[in-house]
Amino acid sequence: MNDPIQHLLDDHRAIMAQVADLRRAAADLAARGEGAVADALPVLGRIAHMMETQLALHARKEDEALFPALEALFGGDGGPVQVMRMEHRAIHGEGERLRRTLRELHQVEHPQIEAGAEKLKALASSGGSADTLKASAEEIIRLLDMHFGKEEEVLFPMALNLLDDQVMQEVGGRIEAML
């Protein structure tokens, strides 16, 4: 791989292109409330799947290929890489929350179990499914905007400036092995 940083930037672009749909769904949920849930569910399902697959692989590329190279330069305790790793965990946690919410809604909409009515009451008491989905969507957007911004404005330029060609080739080789 010639340029692992460009590869990671390309991942960002592909992920954020999908997040554009999430932004629209969140805005629709904010504007129309429960009336937008049926339209938002397919988008949210695609985003949840993307987070579990494409975004998880992207984070793995950084965690296992790029970050160790940077940690070798300035350590891992309290540095920028540790912050990025913590943000990866927060993003993945929010993705899991979205998947859990979608599973709960699916069980409510298709109450094949006795608990369906109770789950519906619980969702209603927590502000309704539209509010819950909107909050999750907005948090995912916020976390990705913030995290990718830090990587693109600080971490990736730092890597380009500090890592020599041999290390960058090694980073690229580790990324290629994950594809």
DSSP string, 32-43: HGGGGHHHHHHH
Predicted pLDDT of residue 132 = 86
pLDDT of residue 118: 55
Give me the chain's average pLDDT, please.
87
pLDDT value of position 14: 98
Q: Do 37 and 120 touch, CB atoms closer than 8 A? A: no
Cβ-defined contacts of 132-135 (< 8 Å, 24+): 132/101, 133/29, 133/37, 133/40, 133/41, 133/44, 133/98, 133/101, 133/105, 134/26, 134/29, 134/30
Q: Where are the domains of the chain?
A: 4-64+76-178
pLDDT at residue 151 greater than cutoff 90: yes
**62-113 pLDDT tens trace:** 999 999 999 998 876 767 889 999 999 999 999 998 888 888 776 555 444 4
Please compute the mean of the pLDDT values over residues 40-60 and round it to a whole number: 94
Looking at residue 1, its pLDDT comes to: 74
Class for domain 4-64+76-178, per CATH?
mainly alpha
Question: What is the pTM (predicted TM-score) of this model?
Answer: 0.85
